[in-house]
Amino acid sequence: MREQFAAIGRVRWQLFVNSLRTVRGRLELVARIFMFLGFGMLGLGGSVGLGLASWYFASHGQPEFLALLFWLIFLFWQFFPVLASAFSENIDSSNLLRFPLTFRSYFLVRLAFGSLEPATAIGILWSLGIVLGITVAAPSLFFVAALSLLAFAILNILLGRMVYVWVERWLAQRRTRELLGVIFFLFIISFQLINPLILHFGKRAGPAMSHFSAQALPLQRFLPPGLAADSIASALHGDFLRSLGAVLLQCFYSAIILGLLKIRLRAQYQGENLSEAVARTAKPAARGAAPTVGWNIPGVPGPISAVVEKEFHYLSRSGPMLFTFIMPVVVLVIFRFGSARTGDPGGILARAADLAFPVGAAYTLLMLTNLVYNTFGGDGVGVQFFFLAPLRFREIVLGKNLAHAIIIAIEILLVWLGTCFLYRPPSAEIVAATLTGVTFGLLVNLAAGNLLSLYTPKKIDYGTFGRQRASGTTAIASLAIQAVAIGLCALALIAARASGRIWVATLLFLFLIVLAAVGYILVLNQVDSIALKRREALITELSRA
Amino acid sequence: MSAISIPVAAAPAIATEHLTRRFGDLTAVQDVNLRVAPGQFFGFLGPNGAGKSTTIKMLTGLLAPSSGRMQILGSDFTENPVEVKRQIGVVPEGMALFGRLTGSEYLNFVGRMYGLDRDTAAKRSAELLEFMQLTDQPKSLVTDYSHGMQKKLALAAAVIHGPKVLFLDEPFEGVDAVASNTLKAMLQSMIARGATIFLTSHVLEIVERLCSHVAIIHRGQLVAQGSLEELRAGVAAQSATALLASGAAPGDQPASGEKLTLEQIFLRIVGGTRRPDQELSWLG
């Protein structure tokens, strides 16, 4: 078994070394170094902060507040891998199952290599910070704190893997995958709405909320973070039996999680078949059905219309994308009800309701990042067709850009309607400034996106949420471009608004549109030659299994 | 080994001159001079890694040649790529399908990308889906199709615009016998109507049954080209010369009057014999 572990470790190392042969691989390494530094700072900084907080709570007779720290670690440990799947590596079990591994080896390999992710490292660092903080406050509690946090860490690692393998199973089939995506996005949206709704309805629901809190607080003590805190707090009060009991209950939870993990991995080990291939039906083929005619966009050549239609079919079948599209309106709702002081009619934008439309529009532009910076990512192996088709590549890019521009236009219309409904209709000046600002931002994004899509493509599945590893180079570059474009527009609009001359911002944006349009056309003129030079890399990257 | 080459009299549908492709230090395809006459069903064979897929990728515009020229129906590919692509149909190695479209949407899309008007694209899509027996699940996405269904769809997409030259990279791989029969019938009817088909396959029996002409590539170089009869004659002549020179007994020769199969020709040309010391004695 040791040899098998070593072989897997070696092959992962070789894969990493081989990835450095290409410029793209080296750029990815640079991006990962930056991410590593970021995670390192988060881990160490959090560790110091949590250490200080735990020292304070333990030394000032407030051990019950330790639960807050454990809940923070727990939520981060479990949710960060889902939100930042781009930074996690996972091995494909089907590759391992070809080899004569015992179930025990398979189980340990999946557990060990699957746990090598930033959340585990950061979670462990933070836990160590708490152990140190408590040990400094009460040196005699070192053993209890270490034991409790060890149990807590093991539980988190097992829970993370258990959730991952079950989610992996649901993601393996398109229908369950899309259903899971919908549930996840509903969860994210409802999570965002909790605070605004509490703030908005808090006063009216005061007694009910207090009742709920009174019921929920004792319950949390029986959940893993509460148990970890309780074991330390009990030891501080000299109740070592209760402390041990809390640790044992954590171990009991871990055993249950281990059992669930084992059920899933056993099914994988036994070669479950999750094939989605369409079975032939006994019913005869439908004859004489009227053929479906493609779209006709007035003034747009047939092939470009076909590309637009294809993009819309793709996006309309993508749960994650559809939910991304409604987010700008959701953001307006959050701002509307998310006032710091209840009773403000305009919510967070109470004193600047006229900015609701530009804020929503800016969020819409941010949403573009998912679409334009990896425009061929969703096409996968289909990208070959674009090189086989009797078209210039710029026509295909133009079709995709047109589809994305139409989506943005629809989004802006929705945001405008949302603003009128939730706030008040924006003034003509604000509308003009916003529309020109968005046009500038759109052109910048499309120009940069076209280049990055050709230079750093990454295959993605529009039907899957999570497990999508965006190119690190694209992620960093698109973030910088968005920050500059939206930041520039925001500064100009705020300055113009402060001076009472919003039309100045509109004029500036018109000037910027001209510059951006020139840049966009220059890029578009280069697309054919870049695509021809990059075609092998593009096809290879997007045709990966 | 000297190449067996037989000149083709007619103006070629596909012609290459010194076609070469290098990947760093590796020369995958070297100085390939192909001639495929219009109306030929042409089989392009070679062992694994010989350069078949690289050649077909260059001929269809998926890969740039390092040097050399390619002409399809008299047009230079590098100079008129769009015009050439309009006249060819391709089933590439990865099939180039868009997984999140339905079969009908995909064919419609491909048809329009090849310049068909909306109504024609829709009509042909429906006909092709029915011909390929892909109408059972009209709402299913291509990604949910079986491998064989995807192959049939890829072939339907390759012919929707009525190409004059068809490039097929392993079209029968993973296709069941019933579907394979349908595809063969369709391809033969295309040949009967004057189209040219350029096909690669590892299944030599299929190539022997379908193709009138064959070329064999080995280690990046074209080592044989011509009709099956011409190749048989060439191999027989070479063998006779070799036998005369060595004075050895004719071990693997077919009996007198018996025709060499394509597999025998192929093995003779690419040197598919094994030395006894290559036996893996440790294998159970």
pLDDT tens for B197-230 read: 999 988 888 899 999 999 999 999 999 999 988 8
Number of A/B CB contacts below 8 angstroms equals 141
Residues of chain A with C-beta less than 8 angstroms from the C-beta of B125: 291-292
The residue type found at B229 is E
Residues A500, A495: Cα–Cα separation, whole Å: 9
Whether residue B112 lies inside any domain: the answer is yes
Span A65-85, average pLDDT: 81
Total residue length of chain A:
545
In-domain check, residue B282: no
Query: Using CA atoms, how far apart are residues A400 and A415, in angstroms rounded to an integer?
Result: 23
The answer for B 115-134 residues in CB contact with A (under 8 A) is: 115-119, 121-123, 125-126, 130, 133
Residue B280 lies in a domain: no
**A284 pLDDT more than 70:** no
Q: Mean of the pLDDT values across residues A397-408?
A: 94
Q: CB B141 to CB A174 under 8 A?
A: yes
Q: Using the beta-carbon criterion (under 8 Å), do B98 and A283 form an inter-chain contact?
A: no
Cβ–Cβ < 8 Å for A228, A70:
yes
B74 located within any domain: yes
**Residues A18-31 pLDDT 10s:** 877 777 778 878 87
The three-class DSSP label of residue B91 is strand
Position A52 scores a pLDDT of: 93
**Which of B56, B57, B84, B100 to mutate to probe the A interface, most A CBs <10 Å?**
B100
- pLDDT above 70 for A195: no
Token pair of A369, please?
Answer: 């990042």
Contact B122 A379 (CB under 8 A): no
Range in A279-293, B115-129, B159-173 the model is least confident about: A279-293
Q: Which residue has the tokens 């425009």?
A: A375
Structural domain boundaries enclosing B140: 4-245+252-270
| CB interface of A with B, residues 378-407, below 8 Å | 378-385, 387-392
What's this model's pTM, rounded to 2 decimal places? 0.72
Which among A291, A383, A391 has CB closest to B123?
A291
Within a domain: B228:
yes
CB distance B96–A532 less than 8 Å?
Answer: no
Residues in chain B: 284
> Could you tell me if B105 lies within 8 Å of chain A, comparing CB atoms?
yes
Angstrom distance (rounded) from CA A444 to CA A488 = 12
| Residue B279 is assigned to a structural domain of this protein | no
Least confident of A31-45, A89-103, B120-134, B200-214: A89-103
d(CA B28, CA B50): 7
A175 contacts chain B (CB < 8 A): no
Partners of residue B70 on adjacent β-strands: B16
The mean pLDDT value for B72-91 works out to 91
The upper half-sphere exposure of residue A160, i.e. CA atoms within 13 Å in the direction of its Cβ, equals 32
Whether residue B127 lies inside any domain: the answer is yes
- Report the half-sphere exposure of B155 (CA within 13 A, side-chain side): 30
What pLDDT does residue A451 have?
Answer: 94
Q: A429-438, B179-188, B258-267: which has the highest mean pLDDT?
A: A429-438
Residue percentage of chain A with pLDDT more than 90: 32
Of the residues A273, A308, A310, A541, the best mutation for testing chain B's interface (the one with the most B CB atoms within 10 Å of its CB) is: A310
- In this complex, do A318 and B100 lie within 8 Å of one another by their Cβ atoms? yes
Number of domains in chain B: 1
Give, to the nearest 10 degrees, the angle between helix A118-137 and helix A66-83.
170
Distances (CA, A) of A510 to A361, A437, A484: 17, 8, 17
Interatomic CA distance for residues B272 and B122, integer angstroms: 48
Selected residue of A321, A376, A385 to mutate for chain B interface (largest B Cβ count, 10 A): A385
The residue-averaged pLDDT of B90-104 equals 90
Tokens 């607080």 sit on residue: A217
Mean pLDDT (chain A) is 82
Q: Is the pLDDT of residue A90 over 70?
A: no
For tokens 């604000």, the residue is A430
Who among A285, A294, A539 is closest to B108 (CB)? A294
Q: Does residue B99 belong to the interface with chain A, where contact is any CB pair within 8 Å?
A: yes
Among residues A150, A151, A169, the alpha carbon closest in space to that of A161 is found at A169
Question: Is 90 exceeded by the pLDDT of residue A387?
Answer: yes
Which band of pLDDT confidence, cut at 50, 70 and 90, is reported for residue A61? confident
Q: Write the residue in B86, B108, B145 that is nearest to A390 by C-beta.
A: B86
Of B110, B133, B140, which has the smallest distance from its Cβ to A285's Cβ?
A: B133
Q: What is the pLDDT of residue B277?
A: 63
CA-wise closest residue to A315 among A381, A375, A364? A375
Collect all residues with Cβ–Cβ distance below 8 Å to B155 and sequence separation of at least 6.
B91, B132, B168, B171, B183, B186
The helix (H) or strand (E) run that includes residue B166 is strand B165-169
B137 and A CB contact within 8 Å: yes
Pick the more confident residue, A10 or A442.
A442
Chain B residue with CA closest to A384: the answer is: B96
Q: Provide, for chain B, the percentages of residues in helix, strand and coil under a 3-state DSSP scheme, each rounded to the nearest 5.
A: 40, 20, 40
Using a pLDDT cut of 70, give the percent of chain A over it: 81
* Separation in Å, CA of B205 to nearest CA in chain A: 28
The stretch A414-432 carries a mean pLDDT of 89
pLDDT of residue A172: 67
Q: Which residues of B touch A291 (CB under 8 A)?
A: 104, 122-123, 125-126
Start-to-end CA distance of chain B, whole Å, equals 36
CB spacing of A310 vs B135 below 8 angstroms: no
B:144-163 residues touching chain A, CB 8 A cutoff: 144-147, 149
CATH number, domain containing residue B158: 3.40.50.300
A309 lies within 8 A of chain B by CB: yes
Task: For A152-174, write each residue's pLDDT tens digit.
Answer: 999 999 998 888 888 777 776 66
Say yes or no to pLDDT of B250 above 50. Answer: no
Shortest distance between the Cα of B140 and any Cα of chain A, in A, equals: 8
Does the residue B193 lie in any domain? yes
